[in-house]
Structure 1
Amino acid sequence: MGLTALALAGCAPASGSAAEGEVATELRLGYFANVTHAPALVGLSEELFADALGDIDLTTEVFNAGPAAIEALSAGAIDATYIGPNPAINTFIQSGGASAHIIAGATSGGAALVVREGIDSPADLNGATLASPQLGNTQDVALRSWLADEGYETSISGAGDVAITPTENAQTLTLFQDGQLDGAWLPEPWVSRLVVEADAHVLVDEADLWDDGAFPTTVLLVRADFADEHPDVVDKLLAGHVASVRWLDENASEADAVINAQLEEATGKRLPDDVLARALEHVDFTVDPHAETFEALVANGLAAGTQKKGSIDGLFDLRALNAQLSDAGVDTVSAAGLGAQ
């Protein structure tokens, strides 16, 4: 989105893990080893977070899916995390709006239902066994909601017309290759891994279910008390994040190598070049969280049975992000009436 370099604040604020008023020494950040978390991968590999944070140490933790990251955030084990929208919604509603706020978008697109040979329409899924990354994560909710729209009953216990078995992504690939799964709703690069490495095909590209194909896959979520006590640290984190999205926008030809190198550091393995190239064709990196989609995401979570009823008014706090975008002469983004902007 043509983001211009931003000036960074130079003072060192207090850490959320220490007593208020102490000098910050550390920011603890969660992310997933997925292509949909490329802004995190690039921010680490290109040291954009380090440059923005200055003398504040950055420590990271890699998660498989959103609910596990939320558990760590709620326990105070991390201060911020890249995450899918539905777990962010869940923690906000369950805490009555006190737990965390979305401060930026990161990725749009890059999720799909992939299936085995012989499944060519929704009607072929009766009696099938499908996987999702984790119960209540964004792809799990999308899968359950879509199946409900197609007339199928599911259960969080795995019963129903279609059995859903939340499974760690790498294990999903193995189980699919062994014929123990009929398909899975996954984020990139796992969609592309099943397509390229396991002869799966896409039955539903989630982009086709949203207006203009735009839907949030990853957002940047910060623990509310950390943000309240240490806004300068949040400003610095956002500066690094904006720089990462800008880098991806301006260095598309180098993105494959940089992302793959960071994936290898996080997981010990690189992605095949054709898998990564396909995955990157299906994602868009943006600081816009697409807040206009979140009421629909809430409805999907309720329909899926993975979410409690509640308000998401105040879920977004985009003031710091929009201040940086405005200073850079870039269009600001909307909270869609669901928080400050």
Structure 2
Amino acid sequence: MKSRSVISVIIGGIIFLSVVGVALNSSNASDENKLRIAYFPNIGHAIAIVGMEKGFFETSLGNTTQIETRVFDSGPQAIESLFANSIDLAYVGPGPAINGFLNSENHNVKILAGAASGGASFIVHPLSEINSASDFAGKKIAAPQIGNTQDVSLRYYLSENGLKSAEKGGSVVIYNIPNPDIYTLFVKGDIDGAWVAEPWATILETELNGKRLFHEEELWPNQEFASVLLIANTNFVEKILQ
């Protein structure tokens, strides 16, 4: 991540600890002293990964708070778990966060803080001739689970450039599959490119000779976008603030 992304991660971590720490310490009920956090095993989720590995969360929240973690591969999976009350907090991309808010009963998703900026790219297979948006026509492109942030970005990018996915009557075939499966298809040459988050973008580039067509942040105003948000189940937030 670039320096501004690191700063965003640090700020997000401070907000996380202050918001959750105050909330949990304000409650005396034992069942409210358990915190279930979901995150992904990628660089954008450094707050959760480093916080758990180094024990920062436990130190800041106190010994009375038990922290449980769940690791997911995509935002929609985490949102489903949030709805099922299997987790209390989750680090997800803006796409799943917004979809979760709109699709949940009583808008039962609350955004607490931004956690990271940047960290996603489009990687072209070395044998595929994709040099610009006009070359996407007729190609096979992979992104993680449908509705996740990279998938939403890919579909918006196609729309902005006058293209459609195959299921919408267009020529671009989109494979929505987990990141490890994207790697496998890239190895086999079964896809022309992939819109993925780090570290998968760099893995496809360095290990499999992929070409980085662009960093997603280059498509945004001022080259900044919130790639990871900290969200919570609204019922959980209301409960611990009582």
Task: Please say whether Structure 1 and Structure 2 have the same fold, judged by a TM-score greater than 0.5.
Answer: yes
The 1:228–1:122 alpha-carbon spacing in structure 2 relative to 1, beyond 3 Å, is same
SS at match of 2:32: coil
Cα distance in 2 for residues equivalent to 1:11 and 1:211: 39
Cα distance in 1 for residues equivalent to 2:182 and 2:190: 9
Matched, 1:143 2:154: yes
Cα distance in 1 for residues equivalent to 2:71 and 2:93: 14
Matched, 1:13 2:27: yes
Contact 1:85 1:218 in 2 (8 A): yes
Where does the alignment leave 5 or more consecutive residues of structure 1 unmatched?
A: 15-20, 233-341
Question: Which one of the candidate residues 104, 108, 132 is aligned to 2:117?
Answer: 108
Aligned partner of 1:125: which letter?
F
Deviation at 1:231, TM superposition (A): 3.0
Question: 1:65-105 deviations in whole A, cap 9, x for unaligned?
Answer: 00000000000000010000111101111126531111011
CA RMSD in angstroms comes to 2.3
Matched, 1:73 2:82: yes
The 1:158–1:58 alpha-carbon spacing in structure 2 relative to 1, beyond 3 Å, is farther
Question: Which one of the candidate residues 174, 184, 189 is aligned to 1:174?
Answer: 184
Deviation at 1:159, TM superposition (A): 6.1
Deviation at 1:204, TM superposition (A): 2.8
Contact 1:66 1:138 in 2 (8 A): yes
Matches within 5 A, 1:148-297: 148-155=159-166, 157=167, 160-231=170-241
Cα distance in 2 for residues equivalent to 1:100 and 1:121: 37
Matched, 1:27 2:3: no
Match of 1:44 in 2: 52
SS at match of 1:61: strand
Percent identical residues:
38
- TM-score w.r.t. the length of structure 2 is 0.86
Question: 1:168-196 deviations in whole A, cap 9, x for unaligned?
Answer: 00110111011011111111111101100
Contact 2:26 2:240 in 1 (8 A): no
Deviation at 1:219, TM superposition (A): 0.5
The 1:11–1:204 alpha-carbon spacing in structure 2 relative to 1, beyond 3 Å, is closer
Match of 1:339 in 2: none
SS at match of 2:45: helix
SS at match of 1:43: helix
Where does the alignment leave 5 or more consecutive residues of structure 2 unmatched?
A: 1-6
Contact 1:12 1:24 in 2 (8 A): no
Contact 2:26 2:241 in 1 (8 A): no
Contact 1:12 1:23 in 2 (8 A): no
Deviation at 1:23, TM superposition (A): 4.7
